[in-house]
Amino acid sequence: MKSSAFAVAGLLSLALVASITDARKDPGEYWQGVIKNGQIPEAIQGLINNNHAVKNNDCHTLSTESKDEFSKEFKPRPNAQVYNDNGVGLKGGRAFDKSFEPRPNAQVYNDDGVGLKGGRAFDKSFEPRPNLVIYNDDGVGLKGGRAFDKSFEPRPNILIYNDDGVGLKGGRAFDKSFEPRPNILIYNDDGVGLKGGRAFDKSFEPRPNILIYNDDGVGLKGGRAFDKSFEPRPNILIYNDDGVGLKGGRAFDKSFEPRPNILIYNDDGVGLKGGRAFDKSFEPRPNAQVYNDDGVGLKGGRAFDKKL
């Protein structure tokens, strides 16, 4: 039912559109029907098109009318890659203006300083930004260029300076008064800093770290002694068997009792070696996995209440 209703509605819509399209008449036909072969009023004669000649328009046939040819004066942007060696441009194009000089580029210039073939000479007074990668060992720049200004000193960098404190080859000496941020990884064993630099300030003490201190409690080699009054957070993993803390440090406070843990207590209920006894009245949360079959809890503990 629904499909037939949609089909009928579609047919009615098409018929309505066709009737609207064909219902409107041409102005000439309309007045001919009104006056019935009579005279058309002069007021509307200019609105009626009397030329009823129909032109045959064929979209598949090209027009034979002459059109303006492509302007030969059109010239693209000069490009040295598409020009011939004699300076002439594209085939049939006008000659390449030899006075045109692109941006200087050391990679496309010859060794004698002359630029592109047929171009004008490279201006030797041109000096690009200083770059030690493309300069020769004698301080001279690009081939045929002017000498590198030895008074130029880049930002100090210990990776590119020689062992004697002198900077780049042919450059001025490295300022020995320069001291970078202290770093224990690049200082010598005697406390002296970079080779040729000033001595490391022994009054400098970084944040205490047990990994970089010696066994006698003294800090960095050549530094001041480690403050023995410093006591880090108690940790049973780094304390000796006798309860004494770090080597050379103060004794471990035996009154300190960490949170009870059955994994680090002995069988007799006593806690850490040298520590105070484990309080047997302490009963952790009942757990069937760690109790014996007879209902007794941890070894040495009180009996497990079977009514629980």
Does residue 173 lie within any of the structural domains? yes
**How does the average pLDDT of the chain come out, rounded?**
59
Percent of the chain at pLDDT exceeding 70 = 7
Average pLDDT of the residues in 218-234: 56
Average pLDDT of the residues in 175-180: 63
> Domain range for residue 10?
2-37
Q: How many independent structural domains does the chain possess?
A: 2
Are 127 and 146 in contact by the 8 Å Cβ rule? The answer is yes
CA gap 70, 72 in Å, rounded:
6
Contacting residues for 305 by C-beta, under 8 A, at least 6 apart: 295
Average pLDDT of the residues in 275-282: 56
Q: Which of 176, 198, 215 is the last residue of a domain?
A: 215
Does residue 179 lie within any of the structural domains? yes
∠ CA 134-135-139, nearest 5°, is 175
Are 224 and 205 in contact by the 8 Å Cβ rule? The answer is yes
Sign of CA dihedral 56, 58, 61, 66: positive
pTM for the model stands at 0.12
∠ CA 50-55-61, nearest 5°, is 165
Average pLDDT of the residues in 224-229: 55
Q: SS3 for 20?
A: helix
Does residue 27 lie within any of the structural domains? yes
Are 283 and 297 in contact by the 8 Å Cβ rule? The answer is yes
Does residue 69 lie within any of the structural domains? no
Average pLDDT of the residues in 184-198: 53
Question: Taking Cα atoms as reference points, which of 242, 260, 261 lies closest to residue 252?
Answer: 242
Are 228 and 219 in contact by the 8 Å Cβ rule? The answer is no
Please determine, for residue 254, whether its predicted confidence score (pLDDT) is greater than 80. Answer: no
In which band, very low, low, confident or very high, does the pLDDT at 2 lie, cut at 50, 70 and 90? confident
Does residue 204 lie within any of the structural domains? yes
Average pLDDT of the residues in 298-302: 48
Does residue 297 lie within any of the structural domains? no
Lowest mean pLDDT among 51-60, 64-73, 173-182, 286-295: 51-60
CA gap 220, 206 in Å, rounded:
9
Question: Taking Cα atoms as reference points, which of 112, 102, 110, 142 lies closest to residue 126?
Answer: 142
Are 86 and 118 in contact by the 8 Å Cβ rule? The answer is yes
Please determine, for residue 289, whether its predicted confidence score (pLDDT) is greater than 80. Answer: no
Lowest mean pLDDT among 21-35, 54-68, 226-240: 54-68
Average pLDDT of the residues in 155-172: 55
What digits encode the pLDDT tens for the residues 203-222?
Answer: 666 666 666 555 565 555 44
CA gap 245, 210 in Å, rounded:
12
What digits encode the pLDDT tens for the residues 99-155?
Answer: 666 666 655 555 565 555 555 555 666 666 666 555 555 655 555 555 555 566 666
Does residue 18 lie within any of the structural domains? yes
Please determine, for residue 274, whether its predicted confidence score (pLDDT) is greater than 50. Answer: no
Please determine, for residue 14, whether its predicted confidence score (pLDDT) is greater than 70. Answer: yes
Average pLDDT of the residues in 233-240: 58
Does residue 54 lie within any of the structural domains? no
Question: Taking Cα atoms as reference points, which of 229, 206, 207, 228 lies closest to residue 218?
Answer: 228
166 φ, ψ (degrees, to nearest 5): -80, 145
**Helical H segments across 36-187, by residue range:** none
